[in-house]
Structures are given as C-alpha cells and as structure tokens.
Amino acid sequence: MTMSHENPISVVGAGRLTRRRFVAAGAAGSVAVLTGGLVPALAADKPKVGLVMKSLANEFFKQMQAGAEKYAAKNADKFEFKAVGMKDERDFAAQVDAIENFVTQKYNVIVVAPADSKAMVTPIAKAVKDGVKVINIDVELDQDAKKAAGIDLAFFGPDNRAGAKLAGDALAQKLGPGGKVVILEGNPEADNAVQRKKGFMDSVAEGKLQLLDSKTAHWETEEANTLMTNFLTQYHDIQGVMAANDSMALGVVKALDAAGLSGKIQVVGFDNIPAVQPLVKSGKMLATVEQYGADMAALGIDYGMKELAGEKFTGWVKTPIKLITAKDLS
C-alpha cells in the first residue's frame, strides 16, 4: 500500500478530486489547499462546521487547529466554525461528547480525526443518521465497524504505512544490515498507529535490521521518555529508534540526553512538529515525516462543504507525505 509521489493526492473510490485542490508548493514542499472558492451558504443562515481533533497537548494538533482557524477566518462569510480537542490521547469520552454536542447544536458538518478507529464509529454513525455530513481525516475509521454501522464515509488522510516506511528506510540506510532498533508505537486502538507499525516493520524486514523490542507509549512524550529509559536499561546495544510520532520522539531524545547518548543512537519520528526541527538540524534526530496537518483540516472543511452541497466522496483521498531530514530544514 504505497503512495505515488508524482501525484501527491488521489481518490480511491468514487468522487472527483483534482490535483489542483491540494498541491505541493515551494522548494520546501509546503502544501496549500486551493479551494477555488467554497460553495456558498445553502440557506439564509450560514452552515456550522465543527472540527474534532485528538490531544491538543500534541503539537501536531495545535498546528491543525491553527491552520483550520486561519482557513475558517478567510471564509467567515461562508460558514461558522468551531474547533475542539481532547485533553490527552486516550480521552476517548471527550471526542464522543464533542460529536454529540455538535449534533445537539445542529452543526451541518463535522470534521473528525478519531482517537479510536472502532469506538468512534458509533457516535459518528449517529451523527450521519441525524443528517450531519461527517468528514474523517488523519486516522481512518475501521472499515468493518463502518459497515456494521451502516455508514460509508471517505477517508481524507495520508498513507501512514508508506510514511513510516520512509522514516524507517532512512534509519535502515544509516545503520546498515544488522542494525539493532526499537519501536515506540502509538495508540493500538488507532488505525494510524497500526499502519505506522506496519511501515516500520516493512523497513526492518527490507533493511535486514534487528528488532530488539516494540511497545506502545500511546503517543505521549513522558510515557515515551519512561519507555525509552527502560529500553536503555534492558538493551545496551540499541543503535536506532523508530517513534510513531514526534511527541514520542521528544521523549526518546530526552531519555538519550539523560543517558549521554544523544546523536549516538539514531532517532526517527513522524509529524514534523516545530519542536523536533532543531533536533533534526542538530543531529539528535535523523528524520521525521511531514503530513501537512493544517492543510488536512482545511481540506476536510472544504470537502464537508462540498458534501453539504450534494457531492459524495467515498474511498480514500490520499494526502501528501514527505521525509524531512536536516537538508530540508537548512
């Protein structure tokens, strides 16, 4: 399940999406959503659009919120907008409450990055059956759960497996065959965590790396710090670390700093949040993966408005990914 880099965004399934809607821009590969103008309000009152994110303690979702709010401000004449997030990555109840509150408040569109790919299907299905247009971004809802609930939603998001493999391949190239590595996984309940683990395992197999251990730190920095500290105690010959997001990579680097091993053990992450960019530049991290979260949310809003106007999208709308190394940040 790889993604074409010649065509940075495509639709798998029905529904049309042109490359002009979401393109790489500039030498650094930054991305912009080119809407060509959103659809006008469908009634005298402007449609209401809600964005439900994961943990706002995670810099990635702070960026997503900022990008979405900037986009909404530019289109304030077309829709009303509100963004909410969770306290931490496992606060699933907060996401359920947010969906239910938006339905009660008669929001027309809900854009959601689900924290749990299965558990979030039930409240989302209820919203859909209440007439709300729901756009699934970032983390794909479970296909079997959607089918059982009787809903068919498109997924607007990156190829997490391919993205993780980009980072894993960079690590494999740096270490060479036989390199000894550990993996810090994300929430096992989230499909993107599952896919990133698979991508890392693809790199382990193809690069002939030696996997010492793989455990979850639930996307959290302090949990990753503790887990990495334990790994260093248990394994004295770790050469590389694959962290399924940059929040965990920060915890890994903190543990390496404390052990005097920063720069000696290679670290890759995922998200390209601002906090890791100095670490990549300085060599404390080898690489991360950009997935353009702010633009993903704006894309979700745009397509929610299009569905509200009568269009229907199904399948997988792939959004761009890019490996980021020190040369990309100089």
Whole-prediction pTM: 0.85
The helix/strand/coil state of 29 is: coil
What is the per-residue pLDDT across 205-232, written as a single tens digit (0 to 9) for each?
999 999 999 999 999 999 999 999 999 9
What is the per-residue pLDDT across 264-310, written as a single tens digit (0 to 9) for each?
999 999 999 999 999 999 999 999 999 999 999 999 999 999 999 99
- Within 8 A by CB and 6+ apart from 198, the residues are 161, 164
The helix/strand/coil state of 232 is: helix
- Within 8 A by CB and 6+ apart from 325, the residues are 170, 280, 286, 287
Q: Give the C-alpha separation, 58 to 60, whole Å.
A: 5
Confidence of residue 29 (pLDDT cuts 50, 70, 90): very low
Q: Which domains does the chain have, with CATH numbers?
A: 11-158+292-320 (3.40.50.2300), 160-290 (3.40.50.2300)
Map tokens 């730190």 to a residue. 217
Strand partners, 216: 185
- Within 8 A by CB and 6+ apart from 1, the residues are 159, 161, 162
Q: Give the C-alpha separation, 145 to 162, whole Å.
A: 24
With 90 as the cut, is the pLDDT of residue 325 above it?
yes
Helix axes 59-74, 293-308, angle to 10 degrees: 50
Closest CA to 168 of 157, 181, 156: 181
Q: Are 275 and 299 in contact (CB under 8 A)?
A: no
Map tokens 């709308």 to a residue. 317
Beta pairing, strands 180-185 & 155-157 = unpaired
With 70 as the cut, is the pLDDT of residue 7 above it?
no
- Within 8 A by CB and 6+ apart from 288, the residues are 167, 246, 249, 268, 269, 270, 271, 272, 273, 276, 280, 324
The helix/strand/coil state of 309 is: coil
Residue 261, Cα to own-chain centre: how many angstroms? 29
